[in-house]
């Protein structure tokens, strides 16, 4: 069993004993998503698999927060923000834009990539490296910019 999955299950037990309802609800929903991923994979999850599910659920919460802000639903923004904070506690530290750019430049130099035509090759090595540490949309946008700069 994944160590991260074990930590999440242990935290759920502590939250149940402590009566922390928001944490209990969030962790139960997360564990349901992890169980679905385990069934789909037909094998036990690795820490990387768990991080993938965590990142996907965190992205869903971010999108919900944006939608609720546009709709003027401050109560739901607050609820989603609390749940997102709980999930982010299990994710590795998020890289800022400068950190992502630096990592992409290293990958571009290491793979000898020259321009925009190499975007697919760059993303193929960048996403596993940055999974859980940066949003895929941000990585894609910065990868295009860095490849244009490298090809110029």
Encode pLDDT of 96-142 as tens digits.
Answer: 899 999 999 898 888 877 778 888 888 998 888 887 788 888 899 99
- CATH number, residue 119: 1.10.10.410
Determine phi and psi for 45, rounding to 5 degrees: -85, 145
Single out the residue in 61, 88, 115 at which a domain terminates.
Answer: 88
Helix (H) / strand (E) element for 24: namely helix 21-41
Q: Verify that 73 and 115 share a domain, yes or no.
A: no
Q: Verify that 14 and 57 share a domain, yes or no.
A: yes
* pTM beyond cutoff 0.85: no
Single out the residue in 35, 62, 88 at which a domain terminates.
Answer: 88
- For the chain, the residue count is 152
Determine phi and psi for 13, rounding to 5 degrees: -60, -45
Q: Verify that 37 and 104 share a domain, yes or no.
A: no
Q: Verify that 64 and 27 share a domain, yes or no.
A: yes
- Answer for the pair 131, 51: CB distance below 8 angstroms, yes or no: yes
Helix (H) / strand (E) element for 67: namely helix 47-70
* Residue span of the structural domain in which 62 resides: 3-88
Q: What is each CA distance from 49 to 17, 33, 56, 97, 150, in whole angstroms?
A: 28, 11, 11, 24, 32
- Residue 1 is predicted with a pLDDT of 75
Encode pLDDT of 82-102 as tens digits.
Answer: 999 999 999 988 888 999 999
Q: How many CB atoms lie within 10 A of CB 28?
A: 13
Planar angle of CA 81, 140, 115, nearest 5 degrees: 165
Q: How many CB atoms lie within 10 A of CB 112?
A: 9
- Residue 93 is predicted with a pLDDT of 85
d(CA 126, CA 17): 41
Encode pLDDT of 32-55 as tens digits.
Answer: 999 999 999 999 999 889 988 998
């Amino acid at each position: 069993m994944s160590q991260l999955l074990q930590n999440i299950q242990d935290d759920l037990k502590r939250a149940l004993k402590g009566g922390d309802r928001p944490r209990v609800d969030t962790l139960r929903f997360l564990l349901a998503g992890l169980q679905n991923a385990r069934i789909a994979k037909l094998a036990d999850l690795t820490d990387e698999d768990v991080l993938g599910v965590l990142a996907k659920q965190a992205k869903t919460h971010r999108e919900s927060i944006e939608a609720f802000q546009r709709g003027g639903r401050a109560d739901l923004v607050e609820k989603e923000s609390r749940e997102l904070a709980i999930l982010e506690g299990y994710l590795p530290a998020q890289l800022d834009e400068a950190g992502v750019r630096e990592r992409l430049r290293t990958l571009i130099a290491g793979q000898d990539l020259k321009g925009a035509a190499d975007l697919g090759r760059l993303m193929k090595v960048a996403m596993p490296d940055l999974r859980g540490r940066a949003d895929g949309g941000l990585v894609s946008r910065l990868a295009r910019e860095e490849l244009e700069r490298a090809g110029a």
